[in-house]
Amino acid sequence: MVRVKKIETVSLVLVLVLELVVAATATNVTYDHRALVIDGKRKILISGSIHYPRSTPEMWPDLIKKSKDGGLDVIETYVFWSGHEPEKNKYIFEGRYDLVKFVKLVAEAGLYVHLRIGPYACAEWNYGGFPVWLHFVPGIKFRTDNEPFKVEMQRFTAKIVDVMKQEKLYASQGGPIILSQIENEYGNIDSAYGAAGKSYMKWSASMALSLDTGVPWNMCQQKDAPDPIINTCNGFYCDQFTPNSNNKPKMWTENWSGWFLGFGDPSPYRPVEDLAFAVSRFYQRGGTFQNYYMYHGGTNFERTSGGPLITTTYDYDAPIDEYGLLRQPKWGHLRDLHKAIKLCEDKLIATDPIITSLGTNLEASVYKTSSGSCAAFLANFGTQSDATVTFNGNSYHLPAWSVSILPDCKNVAFNTAKINSATESTTFTPQSLKPEADSSAELGSQWSYIKETIGISKNDAFLKLGLLEQINTTADKSDYLWYSLRMDVKGDETFLDEGSTSVLHIESLGQVVYAFINGKLAGSGNGKQKISLDIPINLVTGKNTIDLLSVTVGLANYGAFFDLVGAGITGPVTLKSAKSGISINLASQQWTYQVGLKGEDTGLGIEDSSEWVSKSPLPTKQPLIWYKTTFDAPSGSEPVAIDFTGTGKGIAWVNGQSIGRYWPTSIARNDGCTDPCNYRGTYKATKCLKNCGKPSQTLYHVPRSWIKPSGNTLVLLEEMGGDPTKISFATKQTGNNLCLTVSQSHPAPVDTWTFDSKISNRTTSPVLSLKCSVSTQFISSIKFASFGTPKGTCGSFSRGRCHSSRSLSVVRKACIGSRSCNVEVSSRVFGEPCRGVVKSLAVEASCS
């Protein structure tokens, strides 16, 4: 008895010690009208979105490190319900869905986390992040005052909060999570739900607060978010945004760093000068928390892409690209911007800005502390003309659509239009599937195949009168749904004319349809929400089979009632005689249905099978064939991609891991591209486009961690028809070519900034800096150098009328043989080639 009491006493002491440790490490997070307040101190916070399932756990540490090196304080992520609970009450928190590990890695790097639980995510994710089983809960209506939905939403939200609490990951427990989000952009569409929408929104807020996380909650795009929920802004610009209460800080949860890509679309991109302008304007006008959506976009592995028709790449033109490499100069220019903003932090948190006009489209914002120190932002938000302004008795040149940051209200540390970071080339280097393979013939002999049965082949097929909507039929267990109809045609049928064709008319809600007549492909089509096909066919006297394969390419993820957006062949489907004009309505016939393909059920993508055929010739350019080959890992450590040029459309697996849907035959429209794009003026998703008339995506990311040194397996489900021997592997390399232009009007590098004007060696001249990104490389050649008035862009530089003859020799001397170099941009270094002209130094260099 005495021993039991002693053990109980020791246990109690341990519990008290643990509680004291938690209390000692706990962080108090609140907010006031200026900022989030962490342990009693206002914070200027710079955040970036990284979605943990769109990369791999092996990639996470490097992505987080590059984010911190880029000047981020916070990592923001959605929580993906469909990934964590693909079946009700069966949870996944491992692999790419190991949310706890991701949050802990962020904490280990010394960064905070903004956890956007939602649980609606949008995010161009399949079904907006909702698991499709939710659609089949009796009586459910999504995102409105509906009891079945609220029960499920609260259950999952509470589950995530509980998992975080168990691991002590909230700041109130000593963890990194300083902010959580409930719902997502509901204010954009809540009017469609009427009064029930408003009551649901208020319930969501109350439910979230009841979970007692100890940190603030936010709602984005919800101008009537109830206290104490912080309403936040999403968009390309949020400088004009105002919170719904004077007690709440001005926060920007999604600053779209680029835009997503759809199959059949050209590639959107956002110039960094405009992105930096938007960020600076936000902090200039009172903002204190800003998040890049995305900072790393990643990859839509498996069947996670939404849309519909969202590509497998989710690169988003983010500062860190899909493969985890820095996108330069975007990453570097934003890093410099963040340093300049942090130089102003003590002033920004001290007070509200005093904003004054300096002229038409010209504005100054000044932040002053009680001690008299100040910081200023000078903006020219005109789109046409540069301007010279007078501020505090000094003259400043402001390019159009730019902001200058003055941490001491006198000296410019940064201008959004003047880039001091070099452009770094990125290239894909082709690799062989087999090191010893030197021809497509050898490569083709290493492939095996299995032909998928055209039409019905599974025992679980079923009969149904009429045409069925696809999502309600498949529950999204597969992209594929077969609609099969048998017809017995007699020789005297009035619509069947010997030797003439009939027209099969098909209407579908999307996204791809293949029509097979008696086992042969007769036609196909695709579309986002509407497909209308007229296919000439030849029927025969006797038995005929019409097999229609409907294919989804991601489910809708955005908009009011998006969950009710259908897919599949819903009709009408008719057969019309081309000669007599007589039509038959096939939609009302009895159809046979099959969910998915036989090869999916037998696990051909992830498991071995004795059915694989290795004999020659390899069947190619035929629909619905499974292909398999083996390959050795490409040499080196660079990121890996597969170039699917030569194939049609399908899904691919590497060592049983689905790398997503491929569709290299989906071609972008020919018009609308603007490369380069003028960054001046309001940006929108269609303003800056490239790759018109080309495949939307040919290269598909294969994470290195999924590849073994040798004996890897690649499996393709080629649904459209292509030649797998044409595909190739490639590795992505960066930094072999560097380009930069710096003018005499550029600010000195922000790294050289100091508030101490007495320091004699303070750099005040602009500097052109180059650095090979690969640590083992050095600057090996200078392809171009001109100080004066050089013309052109990277890869096409040329001398202008004004040129210093010293240019090449000065730059070569400073840079050749070094990994990095700095060259002062001044006439003191290069001489005076022409007076009365603002001169620039343009350099193109190679690393090896």
DSSP 78: E
Are the C-beta atoms of 842 and 830 separated by less than 8 Å? no
Which pair of structure tokens corresponds to residue 199?
Answer: 């009551």
For the chain, how many residues are written? 848
Which pair of structure tokens corresponds to residue 17?
Answer: 């010690």
Q: Which of 294, 299, 300 is nearest to 553 (CA)?
A: 300
Which pair of structure tokens corresponds to residue 284?
Answer: 């200039």
As to burial, measured by CB atoms within 10 angstroms (0-12 exposed, 13-18 middle, 19+ buried), residue 150 is middle
Strand positions, DSSP E, 339-497 = 354-359, 362-368, 374-380, 387-391, 394-398, 402-406, 414-415, 423-431, 448-451, 462-465, 480-489
DSSP letters along 606-625, please? TS--TT-B-PSSPP-S-SSE
CA 592 – CA 465 distance, rounded (Å): 9
As annotated, the active-site residues are 185, 254
Distance set, CA 41 to CA 38, 212, 308, 847 (Å):
5, 22, 44, 45
CA 534 – CA 759 distance, rounded (Å): 78
CA 422 – CA 412 distance, rounded (Å): 20
Q: In what order do the strands lie in the sheet with 531-537?
A: 531-537, 502-508, 573-577, 583-585
Q: In what order do the strands lie in the sheet with 511-517?
A: 462-465, 590-595, 480-489, 542-551, 511-517, 520-527
Element (H or E) spanning 18, and its range? helix 2-25
Are the C-beta atoms of 768 and 790 separated by less than 8 Å? no
Q: Are strands 36-38 and 29-31 parallel, antiparallel or unpaired?
A: antiparallel
| Location of structure tokens 């080639």 | 833
DSSP letters along 630-691, please? EEPPPSSSS-EEEE-BTB-SEEEEETTEEEEEE-TT-BPPSS---SS---SS---TTTSEE-
DSSP 392: T
Q: Which of 455, 123, 512 is nearest to 309 (CA)?
A: 512
- Percent helix / strand / coil, the chain, rounded to 5: 20, 35, 45
Which pair of structure tokens corresponds to residue 319?
Answer: 């500062």
CA 627 – CA 498 distance, rounded (Å): 39
CA 79 – CA 86 distance, rounded (Å): 13
> In a 3-state reduction of DSSP, which class is residue 125?
strand
CA 532 – CA 669 distance, rounded (Å): 19
Are the C-beta atoms of 716 and 647 separated by less than 8 Å? yes
Strand positions, DSSP E, 697-798 = 699-702, 712-718, 728-743, 767-771, 779-788
CA 842 – CA 473 distance, rounded (Å): 61
Element (H or E) spanning 441, and its range? helix 440-444
Are the C-beta atoms of 50 and 295 separated by less than 8 Å? yes
CA 640 – CA 708 distance, rounded (Å): 12
Q: Are strands 362-368 and 354-359 parallel, antiparallel or unpaired?
A: antiparallel
| Location of structure tokens 């007078």 | 390
